[in-house]
Chain A
Amino acid sequence: MNDDYAIETEGLTKVYWTAFRRREIRAVDALSLRVQRGATFGLLGPNGAGKTTFIKMLLSAARPTAGSARIFGRPCLQPEARRSVGYLPENHRFPTYQTGAGMLDCYAALSGVTGLERRKRIPELLELVGLKEWGDVRLGKYSKGMLQRVGLAQALIHRPQLLMLDEPSDGVDPVGRIRIREILQNLERQGVTIFINSHLLGEVELFCRDVAILHKGRLALTGAVKDLTSGQGYELSAKSVPESLQAELLKSAISSPAPANGTFKVRFDTREAANQAIDQLRLAHCEIESLAANTSTLEAVFLATVEGRNGKAAKP
């Protein structure tokens, strides 16, 4: 039992069968994944990649066909393993007959929070998610964004050590998104492991330090966002570069993007080559606009992984 990992799966597989067992569908296929305690982890993948099935298996809503999954070292099928988990499902359906406070009270009791603690936590959390005035209003009157925020409060009510959020900012306005991000950043500082399943790559890139990309039920790529999005080499921009010098610089460059507004851009794969080019440009009295390390975006990495487009190679 290793509780250094918040989530640890080994060969986790889920097979669904079509009617009369005519054809098998491998929703998740031999997935082995480790999420360190205290990490901020993003799970990405196109529709049907197996992300939700993976989460359902972790939370025992679906039984694995093969393999194992552990949460803080405990087999995920044990109810006790879920005591430290806070979960916000994607298409949640909170009971509309409950008020916001009533719903929080119910789910807190199911999570083992004592009555005394519930009375203290519920107003705190409603205030945290900006719904202080809405606690006594039935959930049927809440907007999509408000339901999402009260859902986040529900996931936090028992002070979980692992927070699993499925599309947490779905339907939330930009101000609400920033607020949610602030709450999550604060939880990260407290050492809570945050596991996000989201289609919003920009948000994941902004918040998560590690990601995994699932594709057709398999783990296509995993690693630190910083490493995955860092490009190789440097890009140099300069103005008033004579054509003869441009030709000279291109000999040692790896590529040259199309010039824009009279700016000559050139890419080098090593720092030495970039420095040499700067020396040549300074000698020719050219104006250097910028020098930056090449970077990629998570979106480019994602597309390269699932569609094989130009970018970083997909490596599990």
Chain B
Amino acid sequence: MKTNAAVTVALVKDTFREALARKVFWGFYGLSTLCILFFLFILKIDLVAGAMATVSLFGKTTDQGIDPAELVRVVCGGIAVFLYTWGLALAVFASGSLVPSLLEPGRIELLLSKPLSRTHLLLGRYLGILLVVAANIVWLVVGLWVILGIKTGIWDPAFLVACASALFIFAVMLGLITLLGVLWESAALSVMVPVALMLLSPILAQEKTAARLLSSEWSRQLYRGIYHVLPKVYDLGHMTLQFVRRQPAPEGAWLAVASTALFGCVMLAGGLWVFSRRDF
């Protein structure tokens, strides 16, 4: 048990080293740090008797007072949306090559000669990538949460949910990246397919509009089938935004979470199965 944990730690550490050796991850962290610095130094908030008197941005001050709780909700919602769009796309882009690189000839043979199962090896890499991205998300979200908390005095834990939900959707996408990586060992394909699914998600989410536009019953069934099988990136993003803004969750939100989680599990299990049977 202790040896297994040490092996997992070694795999995670190796993934961190590889990720940090790539400039794209430094760019990823740099962007988060810039965002934190922006809120730390550029945004100036004056509070009078617990209510916000003025907000200054780049030296320009608002004319009228804003409710600080509303401001925090708006800012947090904006960041949550940013995480869901650019953050997730960047994470997919940065990590797309980390599974194929593990399978490079000359490297995989040596790894497989070690006394660990293939499942352990691939799950160790999966966990490593997840933790690299998690560290960045936590750095950004918690950093902003602390800065906004200090500046406004409002410590809204709902924003921290953005961490969990962003990481959840990335974990699902990473399952797909893992499957594609072990199937084709192509970094480009490992990035393209998840990004395509992310772009497709808002279109698929317009189920009611599509039902009106599609003429035949079979095409509506097909549309619904595709919608239910694929990860609901858009729905989950919308749900997170509602949660951060303390608004009620949309209808069928938890079903979207469950089916997206199922998609991630199936993809990851598929990746493990293919990896366990492949010759190198």
Contacts and interface: CB of A to CB of B under 8 A. Distances in A.
Contacts, number: 86
Interface string A80-98: 1111010101011111111
Contacts of B7: 109-110, 112
B280 A61 contact: yes
Given A61-B280, A109-B6, A82 B106 contact: no
Contact of B3 (A59, A85, A112): A112
Nearest to B9: A109
A56 B280 contact: yes
A59 B14 contact: no
Interface string A98-111: 10001001110111
A257 interface: no
Interface string B1-25: 0010011011101100110110000
A83 to B, nearest CB: 4
A: interface residue count bin: 20 to 34
A61 B114 contact: no
Contacts of A94: 107, 110
A60 interface: yes
A174 interface: no
A97 B17 contact: yes
A85 B113 contact: yes
Given A62-B279, A91-B105, A109-B6, A102 B17 contact: yes
A105 B10 CA distance: 8
B109 interface: yes
A26 to B, nearest CB: 14
B113 A95 contact: no
A97 B18 contact: yes
Interface in B1-53: 3, 6-7, 9-11, 13-14, 17-18, 20-21
Contacts of A61: 108-109, 112-113, 279-280
A116 to B, nearest CB: 12
A97 B7 CA distance: 19
Given A93-B104, A98-B17, A109-B6, A56 B114 contact: no
Contacts of B208: none
A79 interface: yes
Interface of B: 3, 6-7, 9-11, 13-14, 17-18, 20-21, 104-117, 277, 279-280
Given A61-B279, A79-B114, 7 more contacts: A61-B112, A94-B110, A96-B21, A97-B21, A110-B10, A112-B3, A112-B115
